[in-house]
Amino acid sequence: MTATARPEKMAATRPTYADVTRDVVATLGNPSKAYYGLLAFVLVVLAIGVGALLYQIRIGLGVAGYTPPVMWGVYITTFVFWVGIAHSGTLISAILFLFRSTWRTAVYRTAEAMTVFAVMTAGLFPLIHVGRLWYAYWLIPYPNQRQLWVNFKSPLVWDLFAIGTYLTVSTLFLILGLVPDVAAIRDKATGWRKKLYTITALDWRGTDQQWRHYSRAYLYMAALATPLVLSVHSVVSWDFAVSIVPGWHATIFAPYFVAGAIYSGVALVITLLVPLRKVFRMERYITTDHFENLAKLLLFTGMIVTYAYVVEYFMAWYSGNQFERDAFWNRAFGDYWWATWTMIICNSFLPLFLWFKKIRRSIPALLLLSLFVNLGMWFERFVIIVVSLSHEYEPYAMGHYTPTWVEWAILAGSFAWFFTWFLLFAKNFPTVSIVEVKEVIPMPRRKMAH
Amino acid sequence: MAKQMDRRRFLKVVGVTGGGAAAAAACGPGDPTTLVPYLVPPENQIPGVATYYATTCRECPAGCGMHVRVREGRAVKVEGNPDSPINRGALCARGQASLQGLYNPDRVRGPMARNAAGQFEPIAWEDAYTRIVERMGAATGDQVAFLTGHASGTFDQLVDQWLAAVGSQTRFVYEPFAYEALREANRAVFGLDVVPEYQFATARYVLSFGTDFLETWLSPVQFAREFSSGHGIVDDQMGRYVHIEPRMSMTAFSADEWVSPNPGTEGVLALGIANVILADAPDNAPFDVFRVRPLLERHDPDMVAGVCGVPAETIRRLAAEFAAVPSLAIAGGVGAQHDQAHATAAAVNILNYVAGNVGNTVQFGPDAPATASSYQGLANLTQAMRDGRVSVLFMHGTNPAYNSPSGLGFVAALDQVGFKVSFSSVMDETSSHADLLLPDHDPLEQWNDFEPRAGAFLLQQPVMQPLHDTRQTGDVLLALARQIGGGTASRFTAQNYKEYLQDSWRTRQVQLGGQGSTFDDFWAASLQAGGVHQTPRPRTVRLDRGVGQLTFDVWQGGGAAGELTLVAYPSPVFYDGRAADRAWLQELPDPVTKITWSSWVEVSPETAEEYGIVDGDMVEITSADGSVTVPAYVYPGIRPGVVAMPIGQGHTELGRYAKDRGASVYDLLDSTPTAFGGLSHYCAVSIRHTGGHQVLASAAGMSRQMGRGIAQSTTIADVRNDEIQEFHAGHAAEIPEKIERVLDEWQEAQDRESAIGNYAGDHPRWGLAIDLTRCTGCSACVTACYAENNIPTVGEESVRRGREMAWIRIERYFEGGDGEEPLTVALLPMMCQQCGRAPCEPVCPVFAAYRTPDGLNAQVYNRCVGTRYCSNNCPYKVRYFNWFDHGNANDAAYAFPAPLHLQLNPDVTVRSKGVMEKCTFCVQRIRGKQNDAALEGRDVADGEIMMACQQSCPAQAITFGDLNDPSSAVSQSAAIARGYKVLDGLNTDPSVTYLMRVRNTVEG
């Protein structure tokens, strides 16, 4: 994690300041047909997802596959999945910034954008999931004539605040980081884009005073965002840990979820960066070294997650609690054994390949592994939520849940929603930070006259 | 629901019924033309206050008394009549669902006739009368036939008299469950063609030979109550019940021991037991036992053991136990009615006689009088129709087109009849073949009487204005007589059936010795009480002379290789199938299999393995007479080589809830009447796995308790020795003191928060005690809860997804049966436990789940957003979510299509889509009684508040009251040593205490 960039290797193809500005701004050029095709595709998928949601609102939540006692299903699974995704962005942009890990400069913008869009996606799911979406605002404590208040003992209220805070802070952080870059593009832009950049650039002129304020502000924002990396997913984990459901009620949940969140987030960063780098021809800026560092982070968090799995099973056995033991036995060998083993293979076994340097430095291998980790992490949440609920205390009331097409459509729609934002972002804002990349390039010097 | 019942219609209904139900019959059908505004309030109608009418349940021939709760002119709930000696305030699920018969959306709404195209079209009543009179003019005397169901009382008398008036004697009675074998056995052994009265309350030992006395047999509600006291614990002694049948029925769930002999050999087993009793104590037997002595001597235990497959030592033990205490052996259940069932029943009669039970636990005198009903009679009618001997046929209160084997050819024969008139109020299989349909009133709209047994004269009165353009059949017959005129008309003086009924009760008043009062007083008193009950003196009966010559054969039907024995048993939910059109009953899980909305065949695990069948596999069952395809249910409580199917599903008519649902076992049964004139419910079949599969719409998750101690049991020996072992699920050790303190503080904080402001002060804590020793699993409580609390039925597909909304459910767990321990069943009614430290409350983000000062976990529907966290955190899983908009009349999922919505309890909210709901401890009843008490300036008395489930429970297993009052019945019950809380290791402090089921197991 604290690995430093390797300037000596970078030197071989070292870009100049001018190269950086040119290359990055080039990514904002006229989109290709492929881009429009992709955008159209995700919009269609999004429309299908929205259609499924409207259908669900009209007919009732019964169109989803909920089978009591499994009262939370694909929606909450996906909610936790997206919240998890959102974590690596802040980790890379804030924590690594504070640790002065310079390798983050090339990748943090993508990670940060991913964070904001992932939180935006995650935040939809509690709404999609509740029985009366139109009254979801009742979870907000606002003064009203009926003198009704919210129950601050409920983790769902904590959730609301955690997600709300995280969305606010990560959005501000992203915008703040964009300011100097946008200003640079503003000067070259025309038309409506000029207006957009003029507004987002916040009258940036690059004066010394502005730079001084900017650096301070960025540092403060980083300091503010850092604890959120730990707190937000801890709070989300308490949705489960605070309950008495066997398989949920565990003190390990907060660190376990945070590690899992970063794990899945890093995996998605890799998944996004690989095609981005290729399409935008960013090989000079996002190098194999960057990927190797991400791979190491992936390996590290993957091992924490694996450790958490082992501890969960150990504690279930060691507690002597029959319900816990049954719940974990059911996870591994019950009706949902396939989900559990998908999770374990994807999250604990496949990443072991990352111990090999060759794999860490192979982009296709990393892309493939990151996809598996994404899948495994989705199943991790599925196993924790659905499988635990399906096998609680009352044997007569145990059940088996299978999602319906509505849930799959909305899940696909959520990816489409995420990628819509990401595609729009990638063509309108620099996905690699101009300013920060320049910071790690040695200062251009005037050539010596002989 | 309010959308359907607009103000105008509401006032019409109120106005008319408000005039008093007494006026209803005189008013006649049709919507009234005058509106009565509330400016002049109708007598006995206070808006918001319920009126109760006493009447009699006609869902089966048991004759339970009912109180019908009427609000603003519509019946909203039926409750047992506490004064009825038959049901003493309880009511079974079918009785509860009689409301859905009244409000069934598929009732025939007026007279209809078949037109030239073969379709039914509405006609006028007078037109219908004219057509009948025309047709009858063309028919001579006995060519006019009348087929009824079992109708004892004035209507029965009217039919006979009317037939005589039109010059015919062709009367047939067909009641599918007519207990022909039992009556034949009583004829053969005692010379009496009656069904005696059985005294379960005094019998400390019950031996049932395949008789489902807690389900459908004779009078199940009465038997459940009496059995639970006769079988109960008195002075550390407990009754014992042994059930003998190849299949473990719901009734057998309550047994202490289940003995499964070879199918059809039960009679021989009874003789073997009688043999031992007579051999052990020859002097105790009545003097005339010599008549059967040679017969019994032929049946020594070793010989019987060989025939029955029951060890000889078991036979000796059963005999010794049976002779030791007041005992009762019963036989003659429909599910055990094979072609030698009369021999079984006769053998059991002899057993009872030898043990000295006849005159004690078996009483002739207060018995059910002989009825003309038999399957043989239906076969005779079919033959008569086929021969063209019937030209006009009237059919009332029976549905033979469904309730007869297809091999009988009843439907084909029916088509030979020139003119068929059906009085059915629903379009059933039989009426769909009629030419004229003259719908009768629902029993809840009728004046009538009923005599289930000697000495019980029960009255029915209309509880509300008829819903549709229907006419009571009695009125129709009288009107027809008038229209025919001449001698026919002059036979009847009564202008309408109510008068006819009252005339008959004038005679009854004289018979009953009630001349001291005026008839009006006698009538009013009888109406108010639901009828008149007398207890005729038991008569002494002796063995018939011919009893020694009786032969006792075993059933031979299932001998061939590769064949299995099929048992068709009466469904405790649908009776003979007549109740299949009620959504509540379709959704009520079968007490044994827990399957809803469909048919199944029960297959033993051994047989299933042999045929490679698992739950839900489609199985084709083929008998000599037909074949059906149904999903399999692998049931450990059935003997290998035997398969069983309930009667009741597979209707081709009978409205939206019953039509084309499952398969009818009547398609398999042999149509040849047995020697005793009944229908054999056993037949030889072969089965084949078709390869198809369907997920069973079962309400049960796991069928085993997984060692979690949900439904706990103990033995009478442990109760006697104070050695009850309570099982604490979840923790083995004591809770550390510091944890206790934290828990207590939390609970105190909860109580403090809920008791502020107006709610300060002492409050009751409502609680329940449920005696699992009494619970039979009959599920009456479940349907009562549906009726009281406006619970929607969700349909088969939703049940498959576990979305049924039953606030109370009967959990059924199998135990043992693995070769080492005998199979037993543990039952547990599960509803919201109203925890003192409720896990559902803190997780609700909006306080929709909160604690009331009187200890209820309230659920505020209006505030619920639907996060469903409360349900996840509920260890008992008693919270139910509205996945669809079951309460919206414009939604496809609407559960109360008109006029079913008229039944909705106005005191209870109809929940909307997206909210959580659960058992409220009938909070509307609590508040109602509290209000009454407050108005009268007193405290609520213990036992005054009754929950719907408690009120309906035939076995009186449920006690409700204030746990904070140590003298209350519920506190006393909860303090019994065998009381335990489910999952108490979770420290939820439930308000529901279960009393362990005590089993009277064989010691040593």
Please check whether residue A424 lies inside any domain of the structure.
yes
Cα–Cα distances in angstroms (integers) from residue B965 to residues B763, B768, B947, B961, in the given order: 10, 13, 18, 8
Beta-carbon separation of B710 and A61 below 8 A: no
Please check whether residue A448 lies inside any domain of the structure.
no
pLDDT digits (tens, 9 = 90+) for A271-329: 988 998 888 888 888 889 889 999 999 999 999 999 999 999 999 999 888 899 999 99
pLDDT reading at B858 higher than 70: yes
Beta-carbon separation of B708 and A393 below 8 A: yes
pLDDT digits (tens, 9 = 90+) for B411-452: 999 999 999 999 999 999 999 999 999 999 999 999 999 998
Q: What is the pLDDT averaged over residues A227-231?
A: 88
Chain A CB contacts of B700 under 8 Å are: 396
Please check whether residue A382 lies inside any domain of the structure.
yes
Model confidence at B783, pLDDT cuts 50, 70, 90, reads very high
Distance of CA B221 to the CA centre of its chain: 8
Residues B585 and B621 in one domain: yes
pLDDT reading at A446 higher than 90: no
Please check whether residue A450 lies inside any domain of the structure.
no
Chain B CB contacts of A142 under 8 Å are: none
pLDDT reading at B25 higher than 50: no
Please check whether residue A17 lies inside any domain of the structure.
no
**DSSP H or E run through B745:** helix B737-754
Query: Within 13 Å and on the Cβ side, how many CA atoms surround A37?
Result: 3
Chain A CB contacts of B802 under 8 Å are: 67-69, 399
Q: What is the pLDDT averaged over residues B297-308?
A: 92
Best mutation target among A159, A160, A393, A398 (most B Cβ atoms within 10 Å) is: A393
pLDDT reading at B830 higher than 90: yes
pLDDT digits (tens, 9 = 90+) for B603-617: 999 999 999 999 999
Q: Tell me, what CATH number does B851's domain have?
A: 3.30.70.20
Higher pLDDT, B689 or B17: B689
| Range 20-39 of A in CB contact (< 8 A) with B | none
Q: Tell me, what CATH number does B284's domain have?
A: 3.40.228.10
Q: What is the pLDDT of residue B759?
A: 81
When the pLDDT of each residue in chain A is averaged and rounded to a whole number, the result is 89
Please check whether residue A374 lies inside any domain of the structure.
yes
Read off the tokens for B512. 């009953």
Q: How many domains does chain B have?
A: 3
pLDDT digits (tens, 9 = 90+) for B932-989: 999 999 999 999 999 999 999 999 999 999 999 999 999 999 999 999 999 988 888 9
In this complex, which of B705, B730, B803 lies closest to A323 when CB atoms are compared? B730
Cβ pairs A/B, distance under 8 A? 173
Q: Which of these, A399, A347, A398, lies nearest to A369 by C-alpha position?
A: A347
Read off the tokens for B160. 């006979």
Least confident of A107-121, B5-19, B57-71, B135-149: B5-19
Residues B203 and B330 in one domain: yes
Which pTM value belongs to this model?
A: 0.92
List, in sequence order, the alpha helices (H) in B896-974: 923-935, 948-952, 969-974
Rounded to whole angstroms, the Cα distance separating B366 from B73 reads: 37
Beta-carbon separation of B877 and A130 below 8 A: no
Q: What is the 3-state secondary structure (H, E, C) of A231-296?
A: HHHHHHHHHHHCCCCCCCCCCCHHHHHHHHHHHHHHHHHHHHHHHHHHHCCCCCCCCHHHHHHHHH
Q: What is the pLDDT of residue A276?
A: 87
Q: What is the pLDDT of residue B283?
A: 82
pLDDT digits (tens, 9 = 90+) for A59-114: 999 999 999 999 999 999 999 999 999 888 888 888 888 888 777 887 888 888 99
pLDDT reading at B103 higher than 90: yes
Residues B747 and B882 in one domain: yes
Residues B763 and B874 in one domain: yes
pLDDT digits (tens, 9 = 90+) for B30-67: 555 665 556 666 676 778 889 999 999 999 999 999 99
Q: What is the pLDDT of residue A264?
A: 93
Q: What is the pLDDT of residue B712?
A: 93
Please check whether residue B405 lies inside any domain of the structure.
no
Read off the tokens for B358. 């006849």
Closest chain B residue to the Cα of A67, Cα to Cα: B801
Q: How many domains does chain A have?
A: 1
Read off the tokens for A223. 């300091």
pLDDT reading at B73 higher than 70: yes
Model confidence at A186, pLDDT cuts 50, 70, 90, reads confident
Q: What is the pLDDT of residue B248?
A: 94
Beta-carbon separation of B913 and A389 below 8 A: no
Beta-carbon separation of B842 and A69 below 8 A: no
Read off the tokens for B561. 């290789």
- Residue A273: exposed, middle, or buried by beta-carbon count in 10 A (0-12, 13-18, 19+)? buried
When the pLDDT of each residue in chain B is averaged and rounded to a whole number, the result is 90
Beta-carbon separation of B730 and A65 below 8 A: no
A149/B contact by beta carbon, under 8 A: yes
Q: What is the pLDDT of residue A356?
A: 95
Cα–Cα distances in angstroms (integers) from residue A238 to residues A243, A245, A250, B979, in the given order: 8, 12, 9, 35
| Range 230-249 of A in CB contact (< 8 A) with B | 239, 242-245
Please check whether residue B74 lies inside any domain of the structure.
no
Q: Tell me, what CATH number does A230's domain have?
A: 1.20.1630.10
pLDDT reading at B554 higher than 80: yes
Distance from CA of A70 to the nearest CA of B (A): 7
Distance from CA of A307 to the nearest CA of B (A): 26
Phi, psi of B238 (to 5 degrees): -135, 145
Distance from CA of A336 to the nearest CA of B (A): 15
Q: What is the pLDDT of residue B91?
A: 96
Residue that is last in its domain, among B636, B658, B693: B693
A324/B contact by beta carbon, under 8 A: no
pLDDT reading at A12 higher than 50: no
Model confidence at B21, pLDDT cuts 50, 70, 90, reads very low
Model confidence at B24, pLDDT cuts 50, 70, 90, reads very low
A450/B contact by beta carbon, under 8 A: no
Please check whether residue A4 lies inside any domain of the structure.
no
Please check whether residue B698 lies inside any domain of the structure.
no
Residues B674 and B752 in one domain: no
| Range 378-417 of A in CB contact (< 8 A) with B | 389, 392-399
Residue that is last in its domain, among B336, B352, B368: B368
Please check whether residue B471 lies inside any domain of the structure.
no
Q: Which amino acid is at B37?
A: P
Chain A CB contacts of B839 under 8 Å are: 243-244
- Domain of B976, in residue numbers: 713-999
Residues B668 and B730 in one domain: no
Read off the tokens for B31. 């919507």
Q: What is the pLDDT averaged over residues B324-336?
A: 91
pLDDT reading at A1 higher than 60: no
**DSSP H or E run through A120:** helix A108-122
Asked if B230 contacts B200 with a C-beta cutoff of 8 angstroms, the reply is yes
A137/B contact by beta carbon, under 8 A: no
Between strands B958-962 and B766-771, the pairing is antiparallel
pLDDT digits (tens, 9 = 90+) for B196-235: 999 999 999 999 999 999 999 999 999 999 999 999 998 8
Q: What is the pLDDT of residue B26?
A: 41
Residues B628 and B755 in one domain: no
Higher pLDDT, A14 or B95: B95
Rounded to whole angstroms, the Cα distance separating B957 from B967 reads: 19
- Domain of A393, in residue numbers: 32-440
Please check whether residue B510 lies inside any domain of the structure.
no
Residues B869 and B725 in one domain: yes
In this complex, which of A59, A72, A133 lies closest to B868 when CB atoms are compared? A72
Q: Tell me, what CATH number does B582's domain have?
A: 2.40.40.20
Please check whether residue B450 lies inside any domain of the structure.
no
Please check whether residue A6 lies inside any domain of the structure.
no
